[in-house]
Structures are given as structure tokens and as C-alpha cells.
Structure 1
Amino acid sequence: MRGREPEDWEAFHAFDEDSDAVRNGWRLTPPQSAARARKETAEHAERELDLDEFSLVIAAKQDDAPVGSVNTHAVDRVHGTFAYGISVGTPHHRKGYAREAIVLLLRYMFFERRFQKAEAWVYSSNEPSLALHRRLGFVEEGRRRRSRYANGRYDDEVLFGMTVEEYTERYA
């Protein structure tokens, strides 16, 4: 994983044009221009770094090319909890990028930033992400029924959680 660079705009613009992949994400938006994608990527690359709430590029080891991104959000330093989101471009699915990025992110947040619990929300129609989180050892903690409308249907939002102890037992 690495920080976002201005030249990454083309890869992320291409990922955003894959409507099937975007439908599994947070929100489906109309297509944006290449100029806007270039500008937003450059602005993001120049933002000041926050040690707890950030977005990183998931990059291929062989050529450092972007294959996706991972971000933290809903950071609660008082209670030691955070949530994250992850997106991997369709051409890079099923190659282990998401798994590796999540495990690394959790290690950083648990052992370097002292958080005690990670959460992830997954839409019920996103079977690959549901399966990934279960394989990683996340516990299904709840469900917000019919909380998202996309592709002509309502989806539940499944809440997953993992504590630092559960992570340590599995990965340390």
C-alpha cells in the first residue's frame, strides 16, 4: 500500500467507469470527466496526512500500479473503534489484494495506533465481500435492513466487526 500520486488518476478513473463494480460500493454516481478525475486525484495526493483517518492505494508489487484503494473512516479515538472501506478494480479481483490490504491495515490500526475494534459494512448483494470478511474472521454483528437502494432493489447492510484480540489470535 502507498499514498495516492497525481498520475494514479487514470487507473482510478477506469475503475470508476466499471458500473458493476461501482454498484457494490458506497454510492453509484454519474460518470465524471477525465479532467475532474485528474484534478481530484492531484488534490487528494496533496492533502495533509491524518494518522488515523486516511486513504491508501493498493498497488501491485511488480510495478506499483494501482489495483484499488482502502480507507479508514468513522474513527472514534475515545472508544478505540474505526471502520474501513475497500475497493479493488474488477481486473484485479480474486488475486488476494483485498485480503492482504485488510490484514495490513488492521495490523497498523491495532498495533501502531492502539485501536481495539474494526468494523466493516457490506451490502447483502455483495457476496464476494461477505465471503471475504467471513474468511478473514470477522464476526457478523448486525444488519440494517433495506438501507440501500441500487440496481432496482433494496439491500441490507451487514455489519462485521473484529477486535484486536480476535485479530491477534488469527494473525499474530
Structure 2
Amino acid sequence: MTSSAWVGERVRLRGREPEDWEAFHAFEEDSDAIRNGWRLAPPTSVARMKKELAESAEEEPDLDEFSLVIASKHDNAPVGSLNTHQVDRVHGTFAYGISVGTPHHRKGYASEAVVLLLRYMFFERRFQKAEAWVYGSNEASLALHRRLGFVEEGRRRRSHFANGRYDDEVLFGMTVEEYTERYA
């Protein structure tokens, strides 16, 4: 039996498919979860969501800067997504974002998806450091990153506005050596 670098015990990281539109459209209904991830936007129509998913399913993937679906290994249904961004090949750093739909919180999907992503970026793409920005009020994500072994490296005070209040952004980082010590 062959194994995939993209499959863990609970999750499978995969490309977006046009039929994923319904799950992602439903995830948009939780405004607090959306605010925790980035910013609240006006609702997306079903037609627009279908078009976005169909177009992204057809895009040629980039090896370093990409967006993936976090799917349940059990039934391949979307439970969230993660993406890489701010990729700096010169310095060997990248940032990532992760979002798991509210019905799927606290089931281990996020932690396993992050570990799979880091393994790929560190051991296949030769990056040496991962970064993640987390809003100071997002207690679940702060706890996740600490539990995964990320180091809090800094804080941008009052740099995010949502739901009538300003929030700090907390920078977390993990080096390839820290990852290897913990997960390899």
C-alpha cells in the first residue's frame, strides 16, 4: 500500500473541486468564525461561489503558494481550508492561514492539517521557517499554535478591526529545526 504526504489519520489535504461550493458557502454563514480568520465580507451568492470553486479547480497549482481543502479522511467532505502566502524563497520563509468550519472545530483537523503542510514545506520545498498571524481574541487559534509548538514572536497592537473593536495580531513562528525536534 502506498502512502500520501497529504493524508493523515483524520484529514486529507486536496485541491478544490467544483462540488465543494456547498460546504464553503455554508462555512460563510458563521460571521464570528469569518472574523477570526480575516474579515467579514458581504454574503457570496450561490452562483458566485460555484464559479469561484470551478475556476480555482482549473488553476495550475503553484508548488509554494497554494490553497488546499482540508477534507475528512473518512468521507472526503470539506471541513476547512488552508493556504500559503507571503512566500519568500530568498530567505526561506512562508506564512499560512487556516480555517475550519465551525461544525468541525475541536476534532483535530486543524492541528493535523498544519503538521502535514509544514512537513511538505520544510522537507519537500526547503523552507526553513513558517509564520502564522493570529488575532488576539481568537483563543482557539492561539491555543492551537502554542500546542503545536509555535513560538510567539511578536504582537502588532490594535491592528485589526472587526465587530466594533480593535484587536492585536500575534505573530507565531516555527523553524524547521523546531518542527523536526517535535514531529520527525
Residue 109 of structure 2, aligned match among 97, 109, 112: 97
Q: Distance in 2 between matches of 1:140 and 1:59?
A: 28
Does residue 133 of structure 1 match 2:145? yes
Q: Distance in 1 between matches of 2:139 and 2:44?
A: 27
1:2-37 deviations in whole A, cap 9, x for unaligned? 110000000001001211211111111011111101
Aligned to 2:4: none
Q: Which amino acid aligns with 2:103?
A: P
Does residue 151 of structure 1 match 2:158? no
Q: How many pairs are equivalent?
A: 172
Aligned to 2:85: 73
**Deviation, structure 1 residue 80:** 0.2
1:120-148 deviations in whole A, cap 9, x for unaligned? 00000100000000000000000001000
Unaligned stretches of 5+ residues in structure 2: 1-12
Residue 32 of structure 2, aligned match among 7, 16, 20: 20
Aligned to 2:73: 61
Q: TM-score, structure 2 length as denominator? A: 0.93
Moved over 2 A (4+): none
Aligned to 1:33: 45
Percent identity at matched positions? Answer: 87
**Deviation, structure 1 residue 160:** 0.2
Q: TM-score, structure 1 length as denominator? A: 0.99
Unaligned stretches of 5+ residues in structure 1: none
Q: CA RMSD in A?
A: 0.5
Larger relative contact order, structure 1 or 2 (CA cutoff 8 Å, min sep 6): 2
**Deviation, structure 1 residue 162:** 0.2
Q: Distance in 1 between matches of 2:18 and 2:70?
A: 15
Q: Distance in 2 between matches of 1:28 and 1:13?
A: 14
